[in-house]
A and B are shown apart, each in its own frame.
Chain A
């Protein structure tokens, strides 16, 4: 299984490549990718440098171009496709049908992956993208159980990549509008969930209040961990109870499942976190490299080492990790 690691800047990219990533994915400094945050991502110059750095060391470079252009901004996505092809990216990770259509017609040799934002949860959808745009890989949404993932692999004409570690989307990616409902901007339209400009923190007697688009979505008491505020991981009142009505602030960790993922024929494991620091990328890449190597060598006896899990726990968002939907009872 290939290890695909995130990079929000050049130091992170180098950390990923130097610590054993088989591939590294990154995006331009604008709304053409789903981690559109201030101070993050690559200028064209840095990007070329990043591609070169990866290639010189035998790693592959993927461009994340996984948001949905509207007519007014179409040119930016088209330029990004052209630049990716000219810079020698090994794959373009896209979600929008229009972008994929442009890419496969203008650059027939450009390798295309369907982003998780493309919402392909079943093999019929995958076949559509394969037959129409010649995609060679799909990143599947974090909503499928392990048996469902296996079923997709068995029937898919292309290889499957799954998320292994990092922040967890509870909703099907590419179809979640919760952020824009509160703020006007969503991953689809703007490349960010809970854009920073819409987040407001206020210290009060009750604790730290977090507002999103002016709506109070969380109050964190002193001593509690305040993660980045997304609607799906906040506490709400439903039926007279106030609780994490959608999901607790947990993050995904599938390391224990590696032998099963390997056996299922998964082609690649993706690490989430382009918005995280180079230190995160370094630690997570290092641990996952070791785990993947150990699993490839002896899957029967594979067990995550305590020190690996301790390293990962240090950088996990929230205090808990989960198998997410891979583990059926979570659903």
Chain B
């Protein structure tokens, strides 16, 4: 089983991003997904910069995948998607069907926002070049097991195993809205929230995290405690989604548990302490996403 690092979903400075990937290069992660997948306005890191980061990570022995945007509206965004799809050097993660169209039969990965909910979808995409898919986050272990049984040959299964869950995308920027700013004149407010802005329900339940046009869970999904089960299901890759703090520790914890150096339960419990809001794993167990099996908190 391999370990991957998903694309950064937040708007970090170029310095922080470069420094982050320097550390990632030394970490025990196997696969690194790169690129801006949320908002095309966050263009402080250009395409050529991403390719350079990719080269550095490749030189450090990492498999590099370039990720495309999730919600594409403007022609300029399609243009960037074309550049990524035609990069000719690294594998591509399609986060929208549009990118699959551009791959024209070349190998590609589908990210969590491409709805692959059944075997027939998986088989069809395999015919047009799918070589790896990320299991949609709202689906359960039961569905994953069914999908694994009919998995087309040569297609790897990747599971979103750690991080704030990607829940929704909009044309509207909620970070700008929270600052009473229009999206076209957003002042790049999302840059002030390296892990998103927390949204709480009226009973003070910390509920969601606003990340520009994306809405994430406030809780951090964590499947590390289920490691043995994931192995028996034949998961090929476990994905960690970056946060501004502790991501390297998360990589270490997963790696150690995978190597048998620490029990998965202990390592998972240790990670739970550093989460911005707390853990959740409800989706995997067929429950509301916010629920957590250890806390047993589903009302």
Contact = CB atoms under 8 A, between A and B. Distances in A.
Interface in B77-119: 77-78, 81, 96-102, 113, 115-119
B117 A331 contact: no
B283 interface: yes
A176 B70 CA distance: 12
B72 A121 contact: yes
Contact of B97 (A125, A178, A237): A125
B287 interface: yes
B120 A213 contact: no
Interface of B: 70-75, 77-78, 81, 96-102, 113, 115-125, 128, 137-139, 142-143, 146-147, 150, 165, 167-174, 177-178, 182-184, 197-205, 207-208, 210, 215, 217, 282-283, 286-291, 298-299
A215 B282 CA distance: 15
14 contacts: A98-B122, A98-B123, A101-B121, A124-B102, A125-B72, A172-B170, A177-B137, A184-B282, A184-B291, A188-B115, A188-B117, A238-B199, A239-B178, A331-B172
Contacts of A170: 170, 172
A72 B170 CA distance: 30
A19 to B, nearest CB: 32
Contacts of B215: 171, 178, 246
Interface stretch (A143-151, A159-167, A260-268, A285-293): A143-151
Nearest to A120: B97
B124 A175 contact: no
A20 to B, nearest CB: 31
A271 B196 CA distance: 35
A128 B167 contact: no
Interface of A: 68-72, 74, 95-99, 101-102, 118-125, 127-129, 131-132, 143-145, 148, 151, 170-172, 174-178, 180-184, 186, 188-189, 213-219, 232, 235-239, 241-242, 245-247, 325, 328-331
Contacts of B81: 124
Nearest to A147: B74
Contacts of B210: 238, 245
Contacts of B117: 68-70, 96, 98, 188-189
Given A143-B73, A246-B174, A181 B217 contact: yes
A97 B200 contact: no
A201 B180 CA distance: 31
A236 B299 contact: no
Nearest to A117: B115
A202 B216 CA distance: 28
Given A236-B199, A246-B215, 15 more contacts: A118-B97, A123-B78, A124-B78, A124-B97, A124-B98, A124-B99, A178-B168, A181-B167, A182-B288, A189-B139, A217-B201, A235-B202, A245-B174, A330-B172, A331-B171
B288 A70 contact: no
Given A71-B147, A331-B171, A217 B73 contact: no
A236 B98 CA distance: 34
A183 to B, nearest CB: 5
Contacts of B75: 151
A257 B177 CA distance: 25
B73 A175 contact: no
B296 to A, nearest CB: 13
User: Which of B167, B204, B217 has the largest number of chain A CB atoms within 10 A?
Assistant: B167
Contact of A98 (B100, B118, B143, B183): B118
Contact of A143 (B71, B122, B167, B204): B71
Contact of A72 (B143, B174, B197): B143
Contacts of B198: 238
Contacts of A129: 97
Contact of B201 (A72, A189, A236, A330): A236
Contacts of B287: 184
Contacts of B139: 70, 189
Contacts of A238: 178, 197-200, 210
Nearest to A247: B172
Contact of A215 (B77, B101, B207): B207
User: Which of A125, A184, A216 has the largest number of chain B CB atoms within 10 A?
Assistant: A184
Given A171-B169, A330-B172, A96 B121 contact: yes
A183 B167 CA distance: 13
Nearest to B124: A101
Contact of A331 (B124, B173, B282): B173
Given A72-B143, A125-B98, A245-B177, A180 B202 contact: no
